[in-house]
Structure 1
Amino acid sequence: MDHVEISDDVIRLGQFLKLANLADSGAHARELVADGEVSVNGEVDTRRGRQLQKGDVVVVDSPTGRASATVA
């Protein structure tokens, strides 16, 4: 699992997916979230604008495999 540093106290889920290289683009991030393929701290979240804080764990389950990152 990668630890991805953020510069502020919070970051939106869609932005974090791109920053952590879990999504190729904003459109890809939107698609992953809308399809229910993203979970935050073990719970599926379909809100691309969800505010993540340091310590949150994001997991993407897609047809190409599973990837995860921690907000640091």
Structure 2
Amino acid sequence: MKNEYTIYDDYVVMHIKRRNGTLLECYIDKEDYEKVSSFPFKWGSTWRPKIQNYYCVATIYLGMVDGKPKNDRIYSP
């Protein structure tokens, strides 16, 4: 994982810097941290109007399909 993080007793806080410079925190259970940290790219955020809050997301490049780039998003647990 390329994001900065802080480890506490029973959880981890992943720090996400948005394009506008504001910082968000993503709280992760310690048992899920290894899975999240094994992702080799940077985590980001996306706004979800339905819940009026942000999700932590990572985008995986899957290659070219029919001449167009194909991506998939992973949402933090």
Query: Quick check: TM above 0.5?
Result: no
**Larger Rg computed on CA atoms:** 2
Which TM class, normalised by the smaller chain length?
A: under 0.3
Q: TM-score, normalised by structure 1?
A: 0.27
Q: TM-score, normalised by structure 2?
A: 0.26
